[in-house]
């Protein structure tokens, strides 16, 4: 008999409002390295309610994975962690490896980026699911198999019964990630970490996997921490978003609030990097200039200051702390001059104008003025006329190459694509006027 709780999701063990499932307080994780201490997570605090999804977003290297691993107790021995992690009202920060092992699978589980490395390549996928069911839930062989097949169906693996006996290499990348999700869900965890769960997949299956995760999270009343570098991924799947930069949370808000009222310039920059349906085709995405900071030797002041378009003197001296947006409970940001503040308005207008200019349709782009094609103005009245004609015009005496041989009477009118030598092209100034922007550089037309 399969366990119906595992298939339909465990009954809620608490109700919203009875205390958060997870309470993370001032977590700091550093790695010892030959260059010094890498401050991968630098004072992160947040809470997560049961059944809710928190999106953690930031560029590569911002500390998202290390934060998840710090909470789950999956850090290497070179790591030093401080701060408190309270799970279901119990402080788990001081647990040893055995203590964490008891939590993994049944209380919290993780879906990693790359299903190929998460799965054992020489073990059939069914066995990889039943192992955890038998170990954690003490199921017998047939009950574990029945539950595993039901889990494979729940994550939409076609022909689940026969796929039970497949090896990972016999499946596509999307199928493998579905198996990884089935393993993570097997023991009905209350908290699921999904760390860039679709990065290794091609774009057509990414949305399916993300939707599957969101659906399972809702149906099982499971809390989820969805880690991604892409704000677009969490926009419709997370109730709350925390934006990380240089190991810190720099903005946190309910999802709708964040998209409606971005305060942190870094979040604004991440948003600009998402393609919008309303943008005309071929709109260029705005890349964030510069590079993420060196976590061994971060810049003084606000860590985003070397890349921030709104940075002022204070930003290079002091480090902003998270503060709540007045009148918007739950919306926190760490910035001295948040988006929309008077200090940023003029700069924002200028940036927007630059963006529009860069994305204007070709028909509105100014015509590029060709260098003067007619005889240029002699700088010295006695200088001989230039001997070589401009390269895109034929000399008056030579017939155009596409006309009849010399015995034929010379054409009286130049071909339509060549202007007569005496008439200036319409988009240049007449020969007596100086060139509009720069003297010719080939030396043949300056008369000297």
Ligand X SMILES: Nc1ncnc2c1ncn2[C@@H]1O[C@H](COP(=O)(O)OP(=O)(O)O)[C@@H](O)[C@H]1O
Binding site for ligand X (CB under 6 A): 31, 33, 38, 40, 58, 60-66, 76, 78, 295
Of 3 and 65, the one with the shorter C-beta distance to Mg ion is 65
In the complex, the smallest distance separating the C-beta of residue 300 from ligand X, rounded to whole angstroms, is 19
- Partner from Mg ion, ligand X, ligand SF4, none binding residue 265, C-beta < 5-8 Å depending on class: ligand SF4
Q: Which helix (H) or strand (E) holds 135?
A: helix 125-137
Query: CA 334, CA 252: separation in Å to the nearest integer?
Result: 9
CA distance 262 to 267: 7
Task: Report in angstroms how near the CB of residue 270 gets to ligand SF4 at its nearest.
Answer: 12
Question: One symbol per residue from 12 to 51: x for binding Mg ion (CB under 5 A), - otherwise; what is it?
Answer: ----------------------------------------
Residue at shortest CB range from Mg ion: 65
Rule CB under 6 A: say whether 310 interacts with ligand SF4.
Answer: yes
**Of the candidate residues 29, 65, 68, 257, the single one contacting Mg ion (CB under 5 A):** 65
The residue from 336, 372, 374, 445 that contacts ligand SF4 (CB under 6 A) is 336
Query: Is residue 226 near ligand SF4 by the rule CB under 6 A?
Result: no
Q: Which is nearer to ligand X, 145 or 307 (CB)?
A: 307
Burial tier of 363 (Cβ tally within 10 Å: 0-12, 13-18, 19+): exposed
**Residue 76 binds: one of ligand X, ligand SF4, Mg ion, none (C-beta under 5 to 8 A by kind):** ligand X
Q: Which residues contact 275 (CB under 8 A, 6 or more apart)?
A: 283, 285
Residues in the chain: 448
355's tokens: 């963006």
Contact 151, 2 (CB under 8 A): no
The DSSP code sequence of 179-230 is HHHHHHHTT--SEEEEESTTTTS-HHHHHHHHHHHHHHHHHTT-EEEEEES-
Looking at 187-195, 233-241, 299-307, 382-390, which segment touches ligand SF4 (CB under 6 A)? 299-307
The residue from 320, 376, 390, 424 that contacts ligand SF4 (CB under 6 A) is 320
Residue 274 in contact with residue 257, Cβ under 8 Å? no
245 near ligand SF4, judged by CB under 6 A: no
Residue 295 contact, options Mg ion, ligand X, ligand SF4, none, Cβ 5-8 Å cut-off depending on partner type:
ligand X
Please state, in angstroms and rounded to a whole number, the distance separating the CA atoms of residues 270 and 9: 34
Other CB atoms within a 10 A radius of the CB of residue 233 amount to 22
Please state, in angstroms and rounded to a whole number, the distance separating the CA atoms of residues 222 and 12.
8
Q: Which of 21, 22, 20, 69 is nearest to 41 (CA)?
A: 69
- Token pair listed for 63: 């500390």
Q: How far is the CB of 72 from ligand X (least distance, A)?
A: 13
Residue placing its CB nearer to ligand SF4 in the complex, 160 or 302: 302
Under DSSP, the state recorded for 438 is S
Pick the binder of ligand SF4 from 57, 85, 233, 315 (CB under 6 A).
Answer: 315
Binding residues (CB under 6 A) for ligand SF4: these are: 265, 302, 304-305, 308, 310-311, 315, 320, 335-337
């Amino acid at each position: 008999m399969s366990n119906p709780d595992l298939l339909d999701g465990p009954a809620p063990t608490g109700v919203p409002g009875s205390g958060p499932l997870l309470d993370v307080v001032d977590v700091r994780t550093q790695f010892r390295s030959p260059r010094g201490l890498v401050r991968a997570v630098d004072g992160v605090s947040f809470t997560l309610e049961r059944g809710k999804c928190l999106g953690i977003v930031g560029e590569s290297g911002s500390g998202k994975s290390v934060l998840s691993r710090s909470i789950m107790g999956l850090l290497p021995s070179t790591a030093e962690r401080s701060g408190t992690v309270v799970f279901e009202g119990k402080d788990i920060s001081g647990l040893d490896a055995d203590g964490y092992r008891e939590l993994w699978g049944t209380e919290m589980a993780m879906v990693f980026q790359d299903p190929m490395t998460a799965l054992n390549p020489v073990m059939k996928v069914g066995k990889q699911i039943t192992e955890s069911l038998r170990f954690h839930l003490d199921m017998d062989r047939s009950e574990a198999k029945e539950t595993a097949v039901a889990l494979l169906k729940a994550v939409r693996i076609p022909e689940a019964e026969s796929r039970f006996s497949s090896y990972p290499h016999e499946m596509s990348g999307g199928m493998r990630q579905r198996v990884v999700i089935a393993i993570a869900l097997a023991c009905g965890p209350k908290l699921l970490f999904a760390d860039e769960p679709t990065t290794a997949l091609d774009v057509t299956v990414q949305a399916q996997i993300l939707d599957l995760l969101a659906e399972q999270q809702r149906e099982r009343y499971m809390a989820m921490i969805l880690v991604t570098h892409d704000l677009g991924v969490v926009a419709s799947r997370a109730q709350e978003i925390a934006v990380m930069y240089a190991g810190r949370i720099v903005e946190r808000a309910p999802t709708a609030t964040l998209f409606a009222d971005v305060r942190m310039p870094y979040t604004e920059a991440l948003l600009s990097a998402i393609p919008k349906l309303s943008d005309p085709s071929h709109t260029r995405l705005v890349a964030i200039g510069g590079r993420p900071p060196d976590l061994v030797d971060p810049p003084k002041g606000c860590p985003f200051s070397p890349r921030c378009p709104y940075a002022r003197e204070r930003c290079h001296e002091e480090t902003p702390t998270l503060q709540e947006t007045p009148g918007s409970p739950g919306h926190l940001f760490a910035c001295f001059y948040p988006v929309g503040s008077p200090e940023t308005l003029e700069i924002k207008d200028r940036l927007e104008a630059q963006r529009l200019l860069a994305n204007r349709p070709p028909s509105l782009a100014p015509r590029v003025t060709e260098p003067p094609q007619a005889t240029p103005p002699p700088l010295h009245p006695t200088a001989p006329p230039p001997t070589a004609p401009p390269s895109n015009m034929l000399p008056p005496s030579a017939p155009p190459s596409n006309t009849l041989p010399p015995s034929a009477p010379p054409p009286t009118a130049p071909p339509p694509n060549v202007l007569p030598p005496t008439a200036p092209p319409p988009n240049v100034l007449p020969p007596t006027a100086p060139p509009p922007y720069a003297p010719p550089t080939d030396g043949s037309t300056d008369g000297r």
